[in-house]
Amino acid sequence: MLLPCLNEAETIVVCIEKAKQSLLDLKLSGEILVADNGSTDGSQALALLHGARVIDVTQRGYGAALRAGILSAKSDYIVMGDADDSYALDDLGRFIGALDKGSELVMGNRFLGGISPGAMPFLHQYLGNPVLSWLARLLFKIQIGDFHCGLRAFRTASIRSLNLKSNGMEFASEMVVKASLNGLSITEVPTTLQPDGRTRAPHLRTWRDGWRHLIFLLSASPRWLFLYPGVVLASFGLIGGFLTGRGPINIAGWQLDINSYLIFIGLTLVGIQTIFFGILARIFSLNFGILPSTKSVTKFEKIFTLERGILLGLSTLFVSFISAFVLFGHWNGSNLIGLDRDAALRISGLIVLSSSVGIQTLFASFFASILQTK
C-alpha cells in the first residue's frame, strides 16, 4: 500500500490500520509505504509507530511523492490511495482480484461505488471530473468513467516502465494516459468515497489543478491540440480562397470579395503552420520518451527525410519566385495600364501563400531532423 503524505497526522494512522486490515483479510503479505513530502506535523513518526515504512521525498508535489514511492516499492503489486481517510482502504479485494486476473492498472470508480454527501465538492462531482474524464475518453479512447480517482492498483513493473514525469496532481492523468498509449490492460472497479477526516483544507486546488490536468491531456495529444485544428483552419481557408479567388461571391446575403479572399489566405497559412506544430510536437514527444510510437508515426518517419523536406520546400519556393518574376515583369512591361487591382491582389495572394508554405516546409524539415536526432 502506497500513501503519499504531507501533514496528515490526523488521518495517517487510520489509513495505515485500514490498509493492514485489507492485507489480513486478503491473506496477503506486504508493506505500508508512506512517501512523505516534507510533513511538519509528526506524520512520519506516527507512520513508523504503526508499522509503516517511511521514505522522505524532498521534491514537492503529489506526483513526485508517488513516483518516489513506486520506485522504492518492493512488491509486485502496488495499491495507491490518499492518506486523508476518504477512500475505502480496508476494501481492496476488487483491485487485487483484477490484478490477479491479468490487469496491469486497476482504476477505482467513485461514481459507480458511491460518493457520500459532502465527500466531493459540487464542482468536482458535476463538472471537473465528468468533463475531464469525457475529454480523456475522446482524446485517448480510454473507457474509464472516473479518470482521476486516487485509489488505484497496478503491477509495479508495468507502471515503472512508463517513465512517468509529472510532479503535480496531473500525475494521475499521466499514469492512465501513458498506460493506455503503451497498451497496458486497464480495468475499472467500483469504490466508495467518504468525507475525509481532516480539519484543515485539502491540498487539491480546484481551478489550478484542474487546469494542469487539462493542459496535460491536450499536451499529450498533439493530434487534437495542433493537427486537427490545423487541418480545419487550412481546409476552411483553402475552400474560402478557392470560392473567392474567381471573384466576388454572395453567400446568404453576405458579399465576399477581395478582403475575404486575403483573410482566407491568412487562415490557410495559420492552418498549415499549426499542422507543422502538430508534426513537430509528435516527433519531440516520441524521441524524448513522452509518448510511445504508433504505426502512423513509424510510417511517417520512414517516408519523411530531411532531404525530401528540403526538396519539397525549395521546389515550392522556386515555383513561387518564378511566378512572381513573370508576373512582376508583365506588370512592369504594361506600365500598369489596364491592370485589374483585385485580380492582381488575388494572384499576389497565391504567390505569398505558396512561398510562405515553401519556407515553412524548409525550416520545419530542418527542425524535425534535429528532433529526430537521438
DSSP of 89-113, one letter per residue?
Answer: TT--HHHHHHHHTT-SEEEEEHHHH
Give the phi and the psi of residue 32 in degrees, each rounded to 5.
-100, 115
Percent of the chain scored above 70 by pLDDT?
96
Q: Is the pLDDT of residue 255 over 70?
A: yes
- Enumerate the domain spans of the chain: 2-219, 222-372
Condensed to tens digits (0 to 9), the pLDDT of residues 21-71 reads 999 999 999 999 999 999 999 999 999 999 999 999 999 999 999 999 999
**Helix, strand, or coil (residue 250):** strand
Distance in angstroms (rounded) separating the CA atoms of residues 316 and 308: 12
Q: Is the pLDDT of residue 338 over 60?
A: no
Q: What is the DSSP code string of 23-57?
A: HHHTT-----EEEES--SSSHHHHHHHTT-EEEE-
**Helix, strand, or coil (residue 278):** helix
Q: Is the pLDDT of residue 95 over 90?
A: yes
Condensed to tens digits (0 to 9), the pLDDT of residues 194-237 reads 998 888 777 677 777 778 888 888 888 888 989 999 999 999 99
**Topology annotation, domain 2-219:** Spore Coat Polysaccharide Biosynthesis Protein SpsA; Chain A (3.90.550)
Q: Is the pLDDT of residue 374 over 80?
A: no
Mean of the per-residue pLDDT values for the chain?
A: 88
Q: Is the pLDDT of residue 247 over 70?
A: yes
Q: Is the pLDDT of residue 243 over 80?
A: yes
Q: What is the CA radius of gyration of the chain?
A: 28
